[in-house]
A and B are shown apart, each in its own frame.
Chain A
Amino acid sequence: MQFRLEKRPEPSRLMLYVTPVAAVLLTMIIGAIIFSLIGYDGIGAVREIFLTPLTNAYKWQDLGVKAAPLIIIGVGLSVAYRANVWNIGAEGQYIIGGLAGTWVALATYGMTGPWILPLMILAGVVGGMLYAAIPALLRTRLNVNEILTSLMLTYASVQLIYYLIRAPWKDPMGMGFPQTRLFSEAARLPTIIPGTIVHLGVPIAILVALVAWFIMTRSVFGYQMRAVGAAPHAARYGGFSENKTIWLAMLVSGALAGLAGVLEVAGPFQRMVPGFPTNYGFTAIIVAFLGRLNPLGVILAGIVMAITFVGGEVAQTTIGLPNAATGIFQAMVLFFLLAGDILVRYRLKRVVNQPAAGAA
């Protein structure tokens, strides 16, 4: 018995939604097997990583806080990827957003007023946008690959953090630690549920996703992004400029990564520290794909990835699973998702009584 792949006349909508769920389930099954084989409690690892964060109500606030930046960045990346613009440097744009917000917080240190936080957020958004403008400019003017430039800028931005918190922005009372001073009250993101760590960034993330969904499905802008990504030549005939689309895609994804950065620094961190590069920008790539480049899907995918982050920490303390295991599970989700994608475009067909023509 032999199977052959046969191209579907059009992509299967069913498979489009089934494969992300299947990818997560397969990751749990295969992950349990692999981690057992290399000497860990595999089933325990999967239980702690994927289930404990859901069953333990105390962990829900962590989920919200972790999911918020992933959703915000993931929404931006899905807009870009829809248009076939490969912004891989969201981590760098997130960092620059955080640094821009820090700059405002330090400049207004000791001041009070309801204008400080909005100004920080504005700075973060603009910062992320400007950092994404560099690859956009190089791509549209000189045809330089945006994957490489946005990624190189990420490595450079990490060094910028180290420099700023070691020298000009160093906390004078920090006893030599390379970090900025704690932001004053007006520069901190308020919590929205008293007694928890759930901050204003969580509803902002949901709002961002809903607005993006509305724009992508209901506006000319969204149509343009999808058209250029799906059929660049046809889109050009339709009057959509490819360069303009690249600019829009990069600026939107950079702005949202910057927003996530400033919300993180004003929320959970409340100061700039060397540990600020949290890998959210890279994990958000998985979030965008798992969410099927659809802002509503990104909300769910962001929560799934947040579960693995929170669960990874749980597994670290309860069964001694190294933190790096989280990254492996996240990569496996993406591997299985990409592998499953073939079922969206092709169907498996059984070959009966056919000489090995298909095998060549």
Chain B
Amino acid sequence: MDIYIAIIVTLVGAATPILIAALGELVVEKSGVLNLGVEGMMLVGAIAGFAGQFYTGNPYFALLCGAFAGAASSLIFGFLTLSLSANQTATGLALTIFGTGFSALAGAPFSARPVQLMRPLFPAELATHPVWRVVFGYSFPVYFSFFMVVAIWWFLHRTRSGLTLRAVGENDVSAHSIGYSVQGVRYAAVLFGGAMAGIAGACFPLLLTPQWAERMTAGRGWIAVALVVFASWKPFRLLAGAYLFGLVMTMELYAKAGGGPLSAIPSELWAALPYLATIIVLVLISIRRDATSNAPACLGKPFLPSN
């Protein structure tokens, strides 16, 4: 019993940052922009969140630092791709290279200096029984991620602004001709995606390992990008996908600890499993149907209103 509870709690921890980053990227892509810089923005958010926690000890302020830093770095991407119509694929990669270097530089003074992990949101009395721990045992970002799944679904499908955002992503020229600001909507989406990636990055030192390590997001940002494709741009499927990956990542820990035939598998294979699983999932999804059929029609295409 206890082992299952522990597995679920670990799984939720592993899935949460991926889910938050992927939700942000989903909104960005819905507006027609492909930002491949998620991994870089997450790293910038991770070091900002770490620094925030290190200096203030207030994890909410730390998350805010992560959000702000992620949004600020996404602005570089937004300016290059939206105002200067630079190639989105290349700019996203540049952002990841930048975020990797920036976080390593900013994080150098913090190495081997631990911070406090974020405490659970609800009082400990609520989570004394193991079953209640599964419901009430997490810190704020976990509940935030659930809230955002619903909020983003509601925004995209039930509000006028959400409709505008989707219109911009499906047909930028028409949206522009009926008076919507394509650039404005896309800037807002990119900034939101950057803030979400930054929060996701801050989750690493706050939820998972209370230390600074270079490249501590370890490719999770790329998995988040892949999950958006897997979820065919639908928030609730994103939730399912992120938890599937949380399970894959958690298996590594318990396979090693649990003994039996699973522990005979080399640890490196377990470590490679999330990346291999991403490929397998992308393959499965495209066998079932055309993976890109639901993609926003203008995804990745530059748009300059002066044309």
Contact = CB atoms under 8 A, between A and B. Distances in A.
A159 B271 contact: yes
B175 interface: no
A152 B268 contact: no
A153 B275 contact: yes
18 contacts: A5-B306, A86-B89, A88-B93, A148-B222, A148-B278, A152-B219, A152-B226, A152-B275, A155-B275, A159-B272, A162-B268, A282-B97, A285-B93, A286-B97, A324-B214, A335-B98, A338-B86, A338-B90
A156 B283 contact: no
A328 B181 CA distance: 33
A6 B306 contact: yes
Contacts, number: 140
Interface string B52-66: 000000000000000
A330 B101 contact: yes
Given A5-B304, A159-B272, A144 B90 contact: no
B94 A335 contact: yes
Contacts of B90: 285, 289, 334, 338
Nearest to B88: A338
A242 B291 CA distance: 19
Contacts of A338: 80, 84, 86-87, 90-91, 94
B287 interface: yes
A328 B94 CA distance: 10
Contact of B266 (A163, A326, A360): A163
Given A138-B283, A163-B266, A328-B102, 17 more contacts: A4-B306, A145-B229, A148-B279, A152-B219, A152-B222, A159-B272, A167-B266, A285-B90, A289-B90, A323-B104, A324-B105, A324-B214, A327-B105, A334-B93, A335-B76, A338-B80, A342-B84
Interface string B101-113: 1111100100000
B109 to A, nearest CB: 9
Interface of B: 36, 76, 79-80, 84-87, 89-91, 93-95, 97-98, 100-105, 108, 181, 214, 218-219, 222-223, 225-226, 229, 266, 268-269, 271-272, 275-276, 278-279, 282-283, 286-287, 290-292, 304-307
A358 interface: yes
B287 A142 contact: yes
Contact of B108 (A155, A163, A282, A322): A322
Given A156-B275, A326-B101, A334 B94 contact: yes
Cβ-closest 9 pairs across A and B: A327-B101, A324-B104, A331-B98, A163-B268, A159-B272, A338-B86, A328-B101, A324-B105, A334-B94
A119 interface: no
Nearest to A134: B279
Contacts of B84: 338-339, 341-342
Contacts of A163: 266, 268-269
Nearest to A158: B272
Nearest to A358: B306
Q: How large is the interface on A (under 10, 10 to 19, 20 to 34, 35 or more residues)?
A: 35 or more
A143 B291 contact: yes
A355 B89 CA distance: 35
A152 B279 contact: yes
Given A331-B101, A335-B94, A342 B85 contact: yes
A358 B306 CA distance: 7
A143 B292 contact: yes
Contacts of A327: 97-98, 100-102, 104-105
Contact of B86 (A322, A328, A332, A339): A339
Nearest to B86: A338
A159 B76 CA distance: 32
A231 interface: no
Interface in A293-339: 322-328, 330-332, 334-335, 338-339
Nearest to A321: B105
A143 B86 contact: no
A244 interface: no
A149 interface: yes
Contacts of B95: 331
Contact of B286 (A143, A285, A323, A330): A143
Interface string A263-304: 000000000000000000010011001000000000000000
A164 to B, nearest CB: 9
A148 B98 contact: no
A166 interface: yes
A298 to B, nearest CB: 15
A148 B229 contact: yes
A358 to B, nearest CB: 6
